[in-house]
Amino acid sequence: MTFYSKRDLQFQLFENLRVMELTRHAYFHDHTKEIFHLVLEAAEQIAENYLRPLLTEMDRNEPKLVNGKIKVHEGMKAIIRQFGENGWINATFPYDQGGQQLPNTLHMAAGFIFQAANYSASVYPFLTTGAANLILTFGSQELIEKFTPNMYSGKWQGTMALTEPDAGSSLSDISTTAYPTEKEGVYKIQGQKIYISCGDHDACENVIHLMLARIKDAPAGVKGISLFVVPQKKVPFGESNDVLTEGIYHKMGYKGAPIAHLMIGSNDGCEGFLVGEPHKGLSYMFQMMNEARVGVGMNAAAIGTAAYYSSLSYAKERPQGRKIGEKDPSKPQIPIIQHADVKRLLLFQKSIIEGSLSLLLYCSKLGDIAHAAEGLEKEEASLLLDFLTPIAKSYPSEMCCLTTSAAVQVLGGAGYTTDFPVEQYYREARIHPIHEGTTGIHGLDLLGRKVPIKEGKALQLYGREIATTIFHAKELSGLSGFAEKLEKYMGKAQQTTLHLLSKAADKTDAFLADATLYLEYIGILTIAWQWLKQGMTAQEQLEKGSSEQEFYQGKIMCLRYFFEYELVKMDALGKRLLSTDMPTLEMQEDWF
Amino acid sequence: MTFYSKRDLQFQLFENLRVMELTRHAYFHDHTKEIFHLVLEAAEQIAENYLRPLLTEMDRNEPKLVNGKIKVHEGMKAIIRQFGENGWINATFPYDQGGQQLPNTLHMAAGFIFQAANYSASVYPFLTTGAANLILTFGSQELIEKFTPNMYSGKWQGTMALTEPDAGSSLSDISTTAYPTEKEGVYKIQGQKIYISCGDHDACENVIHLMLARIKDAPAGVKGISLFVVPQKKVPFGESNDVLTEGIYHKMGYKGAPIAHLMIGSNDGCEGFLVGEPHKGLSYMFQMMNEARVGVGMNAAAIGTAAYYSSLSYAKERPQGRKIGEKDPSKPQIPIIQHADVKRLLLFQKSIIEGSLSLLLYCSKLGDIAHAAEGLEKEEASLLLDFLTPIAKSYPSEMCCLTTSAAVQVLGGAGYTTDFPVEQYYREARIHPIHEGTTGIHGLDLLGRKVPIKEGKALQLYGREIATTIFHAKELSGLSGFAEKLEKYMGKAQQTTLHLLSKAADKTDAFLADATLYLEYIGILTIAWQWLKQGMTAQEQLEKGSSEQEFYQGKIMCLRYFFEYELVKMDALGKRLLSTDMPTLEMQEDWF
């Protein structure tokens, strides 16, 4: 069964995003369009042959903790081996590290295919990539040589070990402690970590944790947190490193990937290796987390995409009811895709997932530019990506809870049963507004940090990019109305932002109380912008008389749908954001 | 753990709804406030002692089909016996039927407690009530005597057997066939039914299906559907009546109640008994379905309520983060309920569930008036209830998917695990926008049927009731601003409705294309009205200097929250409903 659209992914990358532009940078110079196509083909083959067949099985047969070791689906070994042997884990890394210098944009596009096929299975190698990247970027040559080769090959699993029982959203409260030893850079680690994705399992031979901990007597708060490599088994001889699996979490969805509760150094036998300098761990981790956050948005969009295609195929095949006004019960029933309300549920999904995918790939390209370019181009790409990251993480995460719900609704009663995968997608989508920073945290990040950053420079860049799109769209017949509408909403958003900023000085509580709504507000504007861009690309093709009229007409309809049904939500949110009544501040605990 | 608020339920019934007014009708004359309190106490005891303890267990141990028989949790026998022995199943029925002539409003309030405690377990007896009520209302004395006593006692299960593989939303396509026999009123039934809740299980001795079927050679469409009593085992001797359980559905949630696929008369041995007159089955069923639809809204609100209290207690206990602006990391963390965004997530839940409960009990009271009053009062109550039914079914159903999601979000990562019940509530809430008519069907019902009914008389009654509330609220200091706001939105809604109706004559497609949005639009208005009513009741108590300031302040804050954050959504929906661009009509199947 179709779980994504190859045609749309190619549209997004090559037509809309013009990803080939990246090859003008020296780092990506060797790549050609043919190579990118081959990469996507290869991704599709792994997805179809290895990941997709286990989608349901991995959900029904959760990982188990047996005698202190987590057992995962036995198919995971072959999947991870595929990722390792085919160079996916370090594909974006430099040639001199055995990598292929593949743009992250392509890696994300391939990830989108894997995630749409089987989200749980896709998580394992992506975590390893993130962890290896941290060692590579901030670790010593010794650490790189000691740990990364077996991570690249898929022999070892990588993780990001942040959360503790008392430190979830509040990372500054981490209490896992690192005690200096006589060996430089080597520490004894003690503490516990919870919710560690792939924190232990039997499909790899070792687990390499990139762990946040506080060196003994370090300053309190974020300024005293350091980053360590903490292997589950000692290297090279494989003795236990005293990282014990205390428990496994059972979850609503995303069941194929194990989430572990780890006890570290309970027997005083855990060695960790400092990455980079002391006390800089959180800033190192955040560089990876920003990528991971865009990655979470991609996960959500991918699950939403799989649900969309599942509901689309059902809607085309399921006969039920007749056209409105057709009173003759002897006429055959029509496929439900012909009902306006079902088309609405499908257009809703399509406009959200393709709008999100467009934003996410755009962010990935900004990341590639920030990595490969120099000077102003690098700086601006980096700043704009910072601004867009909370949006790219949260908008797809929140909205794909709703699009997967719409997919369930298209199937009706059948959608609520386990006979179809949409209920699984609905359960799996729900994790994304939580992990890698809850939506509330990202609202604070956008309004409290990214909007004011560098005296509003990120916000200006964002406005400039949208204004450029509007400028060009106004010149295209058929799109000028949409351009003007977006311009109007952009203007309102600027006023609303200024209004909120005016509270920042002396009423911080009131400034940030509705930050989550502001995030949603700017999220809608951002996706409307992405739709105007896609609409321009499509309109040009339609005017050229492209032979793919259906595909491009679908894009124009989504643009129209998004502006008609989604963009207007800014009216309600904007009204709220300008209001002076603050019930969430005045509400008292004992009034609930 | 708290799963509902006794205080709020009493507020809703006795203060806000003034349920005691019902006792002025002869049918309810014997009841006193003390009796109603005893009823609620008794409900709470069953809920706490029998239903609540099995909430998680019933979810984790799904019903199984073993040798053609569905086995459910063994605790269900005792639960059903409790309902039967304590007179819950026929509590609302007349004295001469062994009932207690309890107002449906009280029965619904008790149901709310049961459903909040354990939704799956609550379903069994409520289905039996509905089925018995159909027999009692439309069946012959013979059928009543033959079937209902064992249903009242809980010995036998009742069901509503409507859906077939080709007839879900489109009930007119039912093809199960009834062949006349030599015995009058007795038919041979052949066909199949799917998604039959409690359609077979081992906690009762027999299952009595109230089944829709088409008498051979009956007219096509809705006008040829009849209603039959079809027992699983023949009465009185218990031989098989050839109703075989072909399968059991596995579902995302609501797992404790079995949903069966039934083959009827495959061996030519199924006898069914005609209820009432031939070809009137759908109209009989709809009288019950209307009650069942308000009941579904109540289920959703009850699940939402349980999730709310679960997240509230977590928010009070979980320390995480510090006040905005507090930079000292050595200060202790604060309970998350002190964060504005968490208060927003809680106020959202509270305002939706208490607003919904208010509407649902109001509808129940209208049902009681329609049953017990005479003349104009009866007629108007009945018509207003007809109008409100799609709203009372759909608003809580749709919104409690979002409130249970908010409950998950309050708990963060913990909420996604099975360590807390909120993920179960999230899964259970999702059925309600589907069963007893999908939201899309109810949108068509509201805009296509209820708005134009009797030349708009139902709509006028609705407007009159809201206008009355506004009139009185304007006189209360502190509430006049809310009254004026509601008046403004009411005016807009009237214009929007007229605009839509203007399309009804020659553009039926365009008239109904956004009926689901119209349903949401009117739903918000309706709940805002309910909040203004609750606000008035609370404001009066506050002005009187009630000793329960906290409770009533909570009501006022919810009123404020709803008007600030929810009512404004009508701006966006209204803009869309007035637009002339119709992408859902123009979208073509092959453009997806």
Q: Strand B156-161 vs strand B64-66: parallel, antiparallel, or unpaired?
A: unpaired
Spatial neighbors of B525 by CB under 8 A, at least 6 apart, are: B466, B486, B489, B490, B493, B567, B570
The helix (run of H) or strand (run of E) holding residue B271 is strand B271-274
Q: Give the phi and the psi of residue A201 in degrees, each rounded to 5.
A: -170, 165
Verify whether the Cβ–Cβ distance A418 to B252 is below 8 Å: yes
What distance in Å separates the CA atoms of residue B284 and residue B555, rounded to the nearest whole number? 40
Centroid of chain to Cα B69: 29
Answer for the pair B481, B489: CB distance below 8 angstroms, yes or no: no
Q: How far is A535 from chain B (nearest CA, A)?
A: 14
- The per-residue pLDDT for B34 is 98
User: What is the C-alpha to C-alpha distance for residues B432 and B452, in angstroms, rounded to an integer?
Assistant: 26
List the structure tokens of A417.
Answer: 């049963």
Does domain B6-152 fall into CATH 1.10.540.10? yes
Could you say which DSSP state residue A61 is in? S
d(CA A310, CA A55): 13
| Measured torsion, CA atoms of residues B84, B87, B93, B96, in degrees rounded to the nearest 10 | 110
* Token output for B306: 């349980």
> Best of A169, A225, A591 to disrupt the B interface by mutation (most B CBs within 10 Å)?
A591
Amino acid residing at B328: D
Q: Distances from the Cα of B289 to the Cαs of A79, B296, B397, B417, in angstroms?
A: 50, 10, 16, 36
Asked whether the beta carbons of residue B589 and residue A427 sit closer than 8 angstroms, the reply is: no
Bridge-based pairing of strands A177-180 and A206-215 is parallel
CA atoms within 13 A on the CB side of B154: 21
| CATH architecture of the domain formed by B284-318+336-578 | Up-down Bundle (1.20)
Chain B residues whose CB is inside 8 A of the A415 CB are 434
A409/B169 Cα distance (integer angstroms):
12
Euclidean distance between CA atoms B87 and A578, whole angstroms? 54
Contact A515 B438 (CB under 8 A): no
CB contacts, 8 Å: A312 with chain B: 592
- What is the location of CATH 1.20.140.10 in chain B? 284-318+336-578
Which CATH code, of 1.20.140.10, 1.10.1740.10, 3.40.50.1820, 1.10.12.10, is assigned to A280-322+333-437? 1.20.140.10
Nearest CB neighbour to B252, from listed A346, A423, A581: A423
Within B147-258, strands assigned E span 156-161, 177-180, 186-197, 206-215, 225-231, 243-248
Place of tokens 């119209």: B518
CB pairs under 8 A between A and B: 269
Residue identified by tokens 């609409």 is: A535
Measured distance CA(A315)–CA(A407) in Å, rounded: 10
What confidence tens digit (pLDDT) does each residue in A419-444 have? 999 999 999 999 999 999 999 999 99
| 3-state DSSP of A371-408 | HHCCHHHHHHHHHHHHHHHHHHHHHHHHHHHHHHHHHH
Would you give the DSSP letter of residue A430?
A: T
Judged on CB neighbours under 10 Å (0-12, 13-18, 19+), A471 is exposed
Which CATH code fits B157-279? 2.40.110.20
Question: B142: Cβ–Cβ under 8 A, 6 or more apart, which residues?
Answer: none
3-state secondary structure of B253: coil
Task: Give me the sign of the Cα torsion angle B20, B21, B27, B29.
Answer: positive
Which pLDDT band holds residue B278 (cuts at 50, 70, 90)? very high
Q: Which of B384, B378, B177, B181 is nearest to B281 (CA)?
A: B177
CA separation for the pair B186, B180 (Å, rounded): 7
Q: What's the rounded Cα separation, in Å, for the pair A135 and A275?
A: 7
Among B170, B408, B565, the residue with its CB nearest the CB of A430 is: B408
CA atoms within 13 A on the CB side of B436: 31
pLDDT tens, position by position, for chain A (592 residues)? 799 999 999 999 999 999 999 999 999 999 999 999 999 999 999 999 999 999 999 999 999 999 999 999 999 999 999 999 999 999 999 999 999 999 999 999 999 999 999 999 999 999 999 999 999 999 999 999 999 999 999 999 999 999 999 999 899 899 999 999 999 999 999 999 999 999 999 999 999 999 999 999 999 999 999 999 999 999 999 999 999 999 999 999 999 999 999 999 999 999 999 999 999 999 999 888 888 999 999 999 999 999 999 999 999 999 999 998 887 888 999 999 999 999 999 999 999 999 999 999 999 999 999 999 999 999 999 999 999 999 999 999 999 999 999 999 999 999 999 999 999 999 999 999 999 999 999 999 999 999 999 999 999 999 999 999 999 999 998 999 999 999 999 999 999 999 999 999 877 899 999 999 999 999 999 999 999 999 999 999 999 999 999 999 999 999 999 999 999 999 999 999 999 999 999 999 999 9
DSSP-assigned states of every residue in A494-519: HHHHHHHHHHHTT-HHHHHTTHHHHH
Q: What is the dihedral of CA A198, A200, A202, A204, to 10 degrees?
A: 70
Surface-to-core class of residue A417, CB atoms within 10 Å of its CB (0-12 exposed, 13-18 middle, 19+ buried): middle
pLDDT at A287: 82
Using CB atoms within 10 Å of the CB of residue A86, give its burial: 0 to 12 exposed, 13 to 18 middle, 19+ buried.
Answer: middle
Mutate to test the interface with B, among A120, A584, A588, A589 (most CBs of B within 10 A): A584
Q: What is the DSSP code (8-state) at residue B265? A: S
**Span(s) in chain B for CATH 1.10.540.10:** 6-152
Residues of B in contact with A60 (CB under 8 A): none
When CB atoms are compared, the residue of B221, B576, B592 closest to A565 is: B576
Residues of B in contact with A565 (CB under 8 A): 517, 576
Inform me whether the pLDDT recorded for B580 exceeds 80.
yes
What pLDDT is attached to residue A324? 86
On whether the A19-152 domain is CATH 3.40.50.2000, my answer is: no
Strands A259-264 vs A271-274: parallel, antiparallel or unpaired: unpaired
Tell me the chain A residues in contact with residue B319 when contact means C-beta distances shorter than 8 Å: 166
The Cα of A452 is separated from the nearest Cα of chain B by a number of Å equal to 15
